[in-house]
Amino acid sequence: MSDIKTRENAVVTVEDEVRQGIELLFYAYRDFTAEPDAMLARYNFGRAHHRVIYFVGRHPQMSVSELLGILRITKQSLARVLGQLIRQGFITQNANRADRRQRLLSLTTQGIELERQLSENQRQRIQRAFEEAGPQAVEGFRRVMTNVISGETDRVRFRRGRR
């Protein structure tokens, strides 16, 4: 009744599909983060440093509160990681001239290089996954993943043709 029949005539229940979806997220995320984590360990950094470097690289001149809004962690949690990255010369801060309370964050040359190294493996992994699956599958992936995201604010980041 609510079963799905595949080409091979196997029967997959909705529960099975959903359970597999949950597990796909676990396994994919586990493998997606494994290699950058190993590289970060050599700098005595963790995954949190990668996330900060990634998003600052993606949105140069972003404010601390914007970054907090994306990461969904407390400012105290961010402070330690961000402080290390600033002290070690991967990120710079400069006051927003329009609102001098804000500290705008950007990657230094060194930060750009680290970001590139860290994310290269992930970029290759995703690009290969996309190529092997084909454009139609990529569109399906995008639709499903966007629906998994909670808020409209974040979903709009992934409307087609957006950058």
Residue 127 interacts with which of a second copy, DNA, none, CB < 5 to 8 Å by class? a second copy
Q: Which of 30, 87, 100, 101 binds a second copy (CB under 8 A)?
A: 30
> Of 46 and 140, which CB lies nearer to DNA in the complex structure?
46
- At closest approach, how far in Å is the CB of 61 from DNA? 11
101 contributes a contact to DNA by CB under 7 A: yes
DSSP E strand stretches across the chain: 4-5, 11-12, 62-63, 91-95, 103-107
Q: Is 75 in the site for DNA (CB under 7 A)?
A: yes
Phi, psi of 101 (to 5 degrees): -75, -30
Tokens 């992936």 label which residue? 141
96 by DSSP, 3-state: which?
A: coil
Question: Does 43 interact with a second copy (rule: CB under 8 A)?
Answer: no
3-state secondary structure of 23: helix
84 binds a second copy (CB under 8 A): no
